[in-house]
């Protein structure tokens, strides 16, 4: 079993380095989650990766991003490691059932009994928007995480009123608005860029009423949805 981009992220609850249970669902509607699986605490490559996240990943100190790191180590090992390295983010113990969450996400190495280097970026609606899976010896690049988070932030909903260009297409929803949610290649971002540049044949900046977070309807990722602009969010 593996989890792919566009899938709903499987839920889980694991103890952090303080023994406190952490539920993935607790971040739904509030934060994007960077879920990082790694093989073993204290190992050289894992130490390098997590120390890099401590030093060079300021995005996770914001109000809308949560960093969750997961390995098969016990929370006792995580507690000592976190204190030694001053890790302030969550180190979750996928200790028992051994590697159960890693197996659910398709990143468990059955032969070695540990997780490979899998990272999943999950949006506020619980949908996997980006992933990378590296073999155990190969460290990941934080710049890739940062780029994915930046794209996720830009792929918000652009609400245009009144619609002036039929080429952009009218979709069901609130009359007088067009909503561009996440779609292949981030259509929302491209539409907003065109609006800012104001080229002939596209909407002008004055048409943009607000940029709203994407809410996926029952149709799933990539479906269209238009909503009224909440009070205080329009221009």
Residue 78 three-state SS: helix
Catalytic annotation present for 46: yes
**Whole-number Å distance between alpha carbons of 227 and 213:** 11
| Ramachandran bin of 126, using left for φ above 0, alpha for ψ from -120 to 50, beta for the remaining angles | left
Tokens coding 208: 């943009």
Which has the closest alpha carbon to 224: 177, 165, 167? 177
Main-chain dihedrals φ then ψ at residue 178, nearest 5 degrees:
-125, 135
Catalytic pick among 46, 51, 155, 186: 46
Active site residues: 46
């Amino acid at each position: 079993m593996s989890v792919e981009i566009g899938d709903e992220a499987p839920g889980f609850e694991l103890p952090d380095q303080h023994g406190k249970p952490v539920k993935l669902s607790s971040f739904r509607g509030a934060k994007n989650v960077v879920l990082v699986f790694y093989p073993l605490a204290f190992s050289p490559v894992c130490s390098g990766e997590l120390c890099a996240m401590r030093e060079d990943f300021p995005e996770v100190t914001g109000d809308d991003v949560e960093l969750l790191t997961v390995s098969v180590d016990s929370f006792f090992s995580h507690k000592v490691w976190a204190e030694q390295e001053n890790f302030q983010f969550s180190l979750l113990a996928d200790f028992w059932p051994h590697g159960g969450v890693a197996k659910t996400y398709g990143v468990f190495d059955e032969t070695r009994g540990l997780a490979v280097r899998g990272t999943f970026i999950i949006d506020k609606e619980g949908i996997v928007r980006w992933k990378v899976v590296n073999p155990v010896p190969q460290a990941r690049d934080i710049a890739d995480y940062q780029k994915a988070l930046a794209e996720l932030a830009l792929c918000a909903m652009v609400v245009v009123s009144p619609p002036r260009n039929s080429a952009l297409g009218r979709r069901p929803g609130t009359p007088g608005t067009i909503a561009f949610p996440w779609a292949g290649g981030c259509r929302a971002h491209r539409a907003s860029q065109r609006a800012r540049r104001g080229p002939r044949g596209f909407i002008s900046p004055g048409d943009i009423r607000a940029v709203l977070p994407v809410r996926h309807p029952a149709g799933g990722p990539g479906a269209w949805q238009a909503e009224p602009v909440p009070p205080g969010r329009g221009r």
